[in-house]
């Protein structure tokens, strides 16, 4: 057990119908004028937009709306929204959406206090101040609703980078699982696979952090069980709710407490890929990369890989565990090859170049560009 | 999964040597003069007192010391300390100790803002303001270092009651497992049994809160495994650390999230008993009461009791699970009968009276005074 600090001040307001609490929650935080950031319009179809704006209106909160955040959100849009936030003099930012919307909102919240937002991603500018960030979550996947980080893509050079600061913890996050009932099945699955990959990024580097590993195993088993239940009955609120809460907990610091390191190289490879193919959803990319990455990495920290196979999948060997995971992903209808994602052999070198452009890749072992290509070949 | 709010802003500073961070941590919170509350003096023997006062001194923090908190802490002492806090005009309270010291510190922090502290316990006075509470933990047991509650005993009428308020969350809690290496084995065991009982108070009332139940199971299995490891090697830092982190997480809201109710009647019976016998440590009392209480309650919510037996103890039946738990407690050297605690058959009626004096007892089912007596008879 290594030393750590655990600090997570986000207030999670969880349950059916909690979307209607957004107005009072914003008012309780002392905000008066919010920049409401949203995606492509699905929140108009599932009733969330109407519930949010009505609740804000009743609580006397002024609202400036900003739409158009897409998956793999872009720096350019965040920069535009910073301008709007300044011009409109909002005192807070309300994300109504999933990880892309929340991450954009965090970047806008920080961006109003800096000259050049991208310089923060380049670690040339500390983030010590931000507008308060509020969240109404519409898809459980990223865990961004209860974490202090944000990822943006800088399109010119295909860089998908991240920032993190305690001031970016959302003040509150409303997680109403019932609004996720209308999600396309594909998005539910992609979200769940993303959640598993988040936990595994630290879990597989662990060794003797028994408490944290036990929590991670509990979360992984729960995610798998709940997706299976949801596949049998898309309307199962209990399964949806437990999946949502597990997704939030997967990124809030619990599943990494005391584990000295983490290995986000699978995610970095996925980011490198989706920076080139913005149409690839994170979870879909991870469905292909995660089993390939595990197969390539299984001899590093092998005891932990074996523990994962045994406790999460009831498997006797690591190979059987990976096969069980692939079988689950396929059962859920996730893609299993790069071809399924529309990515061809000729692109592997670009993906590798991109994955390594930020610096060394991996902790279990340092992956070279050649490693990235070799790792991906079996899933072409 | 029922609706819930999860909010826990305590910063946990965890790891070997973190006691020395107390001065900077207090300074970061903007405090200048702390009331340092402590117990009987064991922190002088294990070096914690020296490390704390030195760190505070280096950070320029003024310190007023208040010693003498005992297990099952008393209202009278808290009231005296409120006077000292007012006279000395401290701006914060620093608990250096275990649950009794922390609970006393919380009561002092709230007490400076009310006319009559006990009226808060009687729910006649809301707690909406308190001095900042800081913690240096010396024994993992109560979970009070990351929760918003406190328990005191009012001696005249043998009432052991509680308060709770978000303003009582410690601002930070330093959890340095290495300072617990010198604890008597008995205290380690009592703490661990208390932790198990905390988790079970909500777990056994649960049903379909898969995420929360999986976390609870992970914590319970970890506690059991770590106590066994510590019994084999009292100096095992990893086991000590994982036990400490599990103890903190057991009361921070995670193991109850989404479970509609909880059943603290076993603890209430223990409190009723230790209000009459202040020499009985909470965990020692629970070692006797918990198996008896489970045996009496096992037909209420039986599916959940079965799940507990299977997942925590690998047992085929509830009875086998309870037997496995009793066996573990005995293996660890905990008391197994009321006689071991110095409590005689003639006292059962007083315990029952006391347990029911606050109102109805229990949720799995409402326990009558007769139930309490019947429940305890088999463990006389």
Q: Contact A245/B211, CB-based, under 8 Å?
A: yes
Closest by CA position to A312, among listed A294, A292, A300: A294
Contact predicate A187/A139, CB 8 Å: yes
Q: What angle do CA B368, B369, B371 make, to 5 degrees?
A: 65
Mutation site, B210, B217, B247, interface A, largest A CB count within 10 A: B210
Residue B52 C-alpha, separation from nearest chain A C-alpha, in angstroms: 18
Question: Euclidean distance between the first and final Cα of chain B, in Å?
Answer: 39
* Nearest by CB: A210 against B3, B4, B225: B225
Cβ-defined contact of A4 to B18 (cutoff 8 Å):
no
The tokens for B144 are 């009070």
Interchain proximity B211–A221, CB inside 8 Å: no
CATH topology of domain A192-379: Dehydroquinate synthase-like, alpha domain (1.20.1090)
Q: How confident is the model at residue A160 (pLDDT cuts 50, 70, 90)?
A: confident
Residues A209, A1: contact at Cβ < 8 Å?
yes
Nearest-angstrom CA–CA distance, A309 and A331: 18
Dihedral pair phi/psi, residue B113, rounded to 5°: -105, 5
Nearest 5°: the CA angle B45, B133, B176 is 40
Min CA distance, A8 vs chain B (Å)?
6
Q: Which of A255-259, A262-266, B101-105, B119-123 has the lowest mean pLDDT?
A: B119-123
Count of Cβ atoms closer than 10 Å to residue A7 Cβ: 16
Least Cα separation, residue A134 to chain B (angstroms): 14
Q: How confident is residue A117, by pLDDT bands cut at 50, 70 and 90?
A: very high
**Nearest in space to B319 (alpha carbons), one of B337, B297, B295:** B295
pLDDT at site A123: 85
Q: By the CB < 8 Å criterion, does B16 face chain A?
A: yes
Burial A292-303 (b: 16+ CB within 10 A, else e): bbbbbbbeebee
Q: Cβ separation of B5 and A17 shorter than 8 Å?
A: no
Select from B18, B222, B237 the Cβ nearest to the Cβ of A211. Answer: B222
Q: How many helices (H) and strands (E) does chain B have?
A: 15, 8
For residues B232, B233, B234 and B236, what is the CA-based torsion angle, rounded to 10 degrees? -130
Q: What is the pLDDT of residue B255?
A: 94
Would you tell me the crossing angle of helices B318-331 and B210-232 to the nearest 10 degrees? Answer: 30
The SS3 of residue B87 is helix
Per-residue pLDDT of chain B (380 residues; tens, 9 = 90+): 999 999 999 999 999 999 999 999 999 999 999 999 999 989 999 999 999 999 999 999 999 999 999 988 999 999 999 999 999 999 999 999 999 999 999 999 999 999 999 999 998 889 999 999 999 999 999 999 999 999 999 888 878 889 999 999 999 999 999 999 999 999 999 999 999 999 999 999 999 999 999 999 999 999 999 999 999 999 999 999 999 999 999 999 999 999 999 999 999 999 899 889 989 999 999 999 999 999 999 999 999 999 999 999 999 999 999 999 999 999 999 999 999 999 999 999 999 999 998 778 999 999 999 999 999 999 99
Query: Which helix (H) or strand (E) is B160 found in, with range?
Result: strand B159-164
Average pLDDT, chain A: 96
For residue A7, pLDDT over 90 is answered with yes
Inform me whether the pLDDT recorded for A124 exceeds 90: no
pLDDT recorded at residue B359 = 79
Nearest to B72 by CA among B146, B172, B141: B141
Residue of chain B whose Cα is closest to the Cα of A7: B11
Sort out which chain B residues have CB atoms less than 8 A from A210's CB and list them. 222, 225-226, 238-239, 242
| Structure-block tokens of residue A280 | 């690839």
> To which residue do tokens 């209860």 refer?
A146
pLDDT reported for residue A10 = 98
* Cα B198 → chain centroid: 8
3-state secondary structure labels for all residues of chain A: CCCEEEEEEEEEEECCCHHHHHHHHHHHCCCCEEEEECCCCHHHHCCHHHHHHHHHHHCCCEEEEECCCCCCCEHHHHHHHHHHHHHHCCCEEEEEECHHHHHHHHHHHHHCCCCCHHHHHCCCCCCCCCCCEEEEECCCCCCHHHCCEEEEEECCCCEEEEEECHHHCCCEEEECHHHHCCCCHHHHHHHHHHHHHHHHHHHCCCCCCHHHHHHHHHHHHHHHHHHHHHHHCCCCHHHHHHHHHHHHHHCCCHHHCCCCCCCCHHHHHHHHHHHHCCCCCHHHHHHHHHHHHHHHHCCCCHHHHHHHHHHHHCCCCHHHHHHHHHHHHHHCCCCCCCHHHCCCHHHHHHHHHHHCCCCCECCCCCECHHHHHHHHHHHC
- For residue B125, the model assigns a pLDDT of 86
Architecture of domain B11-179: 3-Layer(aba) Sandwich (3.40)
The residues spanned by each domain of chain A are 11-179, 192-379
Chain B residues inside the 8 Å CB shell of A242: 1, 208-211, 258
In which element (H, E) is residue B182 found? none
Q: Name the residue in chain B with its Cα closest to that of A254.
A: B249
At B363, list the tokens: 């949720």
pLDDT per position as a tens digit, A321-379: 999 999 999 999 999 999 999 999 999 999 999 999 877 899 999 999 999 999 999 99
Question: Smallest Cβ distance to B12: which of A5, A13, A242?
Answer: A5
Residue A22's pLDDT band, with cuts at 50, 70 and 90, is: very high
What is the separation, in whole angstroms, between the first and last Cα of chain A?
39
CB atoms A237 and B1 under 8 Å: yes
Which of A211, A217, A220 best probes binding to B when mutated, by most B CB atoms within 10 angstroms?
A211
Counting one residue from chain A and one from chain B, the pairs whose CB atoms sit within 8 A come to 122
Q: What is the DSSP letter of B109?
A: H
What is the CATH code of the structural domain delimited by B185-379? 1.20.1090.10
- Residues 233-272, chain B, touching A (beta carbon < 8 A): 237-239, 241-242, 245-246, 249, 254, 257-258
CB-closest option in B7, B210, B218 to A226? B210
Q: Using a CB-CB distance cutoff of 8 angstroms, which residues of chain B are in contact with residue A3?
A: 14-18
> CB-CB: which of A10, A214, A258 is closest to B221?
A214
Q: Which residues of B touch A246 (CB under 8 A)?
A: 211
- DSSP, collapsed to helix, strand or coil, labels residue B134 as strand
Question: What was the pLDDT predicted at B174?
Answer: 98
Structure tokens at A288: 């292909």
Q: Are B33 and B89 in contact (CB under 8 A)?
A: yes
pLDDT attached to residue B123: 85
pLDDT band for position A128 (cuts 50, 70, 90): very high
**Contact in structure between A247 and A147 (CB atoms under 8 Å):** no
* Min Cα–Cα distance to chain A from B80, Å: 33
> d(Cα A363, Cα A348) in Å, to the nearest integer?
21
Q: Tell me, yes or no, if A12 comes closer than 8 A to chain B by beta carbon.
A: yes
A8 touches chain B (CB under 8 A): yes
Is A1 in Cβ contact with B241 (below 8 Å)?
yes
- β pairing state of A172-175 and A133-137: parallel
Strand-pair category, A4-14 with A172-175: parallel
Q: Is A4 on the interface with B (CB under 8 A)?
A: yes
* A10 → chain B, closest CA residue: B7
Helix intervals (H) in B95-163 = 99-111, 117-121
How large a percentage of chain A has pLDDT more than 90? 92
Quick one: pLDDT at residue A101? 98
Q: Is B255 helix (H, G, I), strand (E, B) or coil?
A: helix
Q: Do residue A211 and residue B217 have CB atoms under 8 angstroms apart? A: no
Question: Is-same-fold flag (A11-179; A192-379)?
Answer: no
Instruction: Go through B71-98 and write b for each residue having 16 or more CB atoms within 10 A of its CB, e for each that does not.
Output: bbbbbebbbebbebbeeeebbbbbbbbb
Alpha-carbon gap: A331 to the closest alpha carbon of chain B (Å) = 21
Positive or negative, the Cα torsion across B288, B70, B48, B83? positive
């Amino acid at each position: 057990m290594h030393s750590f600090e655990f600090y997570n001040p986000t207030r999670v307001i969880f349950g059916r119908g909690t979307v209607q609490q957004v107005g009072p929650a914003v008012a309780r935080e002392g905000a008066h004028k919010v920049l409401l950031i949203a995606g492509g319009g699905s929140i108009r179809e599932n009733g969330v937009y109407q519930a949010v704006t009505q609740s804000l209106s009743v609580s006397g909160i002024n609202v400036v709306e900003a739409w158009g955040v897409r998956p793999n959100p872009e720096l350019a849009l965040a920069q535009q929204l910073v301008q709007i936030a300044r011009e409109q003099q909002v005192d807070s930012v309300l994300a109504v959406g999933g990880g892309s919307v929340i991450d954009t909102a965090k970047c806008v919240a920080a961006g109003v206090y800096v000259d050049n937002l991208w310089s923060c991603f380049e670690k040339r500018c500390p983030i010590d101040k931000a507008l308060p960030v509020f969240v109404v979550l519409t898809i459980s996947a990223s865990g961004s609703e209860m974490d202090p980080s944000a990822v943006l893509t800088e399109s010119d050079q295909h860089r998908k980078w991240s920032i993190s600061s305690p001031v970016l913890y959302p003040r509150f996050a409303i997680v109403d699982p019932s609004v996720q009932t209308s999600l396309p099945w594909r998005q539910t699955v992609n979200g769940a696979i993303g959640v598993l990959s988040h936990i595994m990024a630290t879990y597989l580097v662990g060794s003797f952090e028994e408490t944290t590993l036990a929590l991670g195993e509990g979360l992984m088993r729960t995610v798998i069980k709940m997706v299976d239940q949801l596949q049998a009955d898309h309307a199962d609120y209990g399964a949806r709710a437990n999946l949502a809460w597990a997704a939030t907990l997967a990124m809030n610091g619990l599943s990494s407490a005391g584990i000295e390191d983490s290995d986000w190289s699978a995610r970095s490879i996925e980011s490198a890929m989706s920076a080139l193919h913005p149409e690839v959803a994170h979870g879909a990319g991870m469905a292909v990369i995660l089993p390939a990455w595990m197969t390539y990495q299984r001899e590093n920290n092998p005891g932990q890989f074996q523990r994962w196979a045994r406790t999460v999948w009831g498997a006797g060997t690591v190979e059987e565990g990976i096969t069980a995971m692939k079988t689950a992903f396929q059962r859920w209808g996730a893609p299993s090859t790069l071809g399924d994602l529309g990515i061809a052999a000729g692109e592997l070198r670009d993906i590798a170049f991109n994955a390594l452009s930020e610096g060394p890749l991996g902790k279990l072992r340092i992956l070279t560009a050649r490693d990235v290509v070799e790792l991906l070949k079996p899933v072409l």
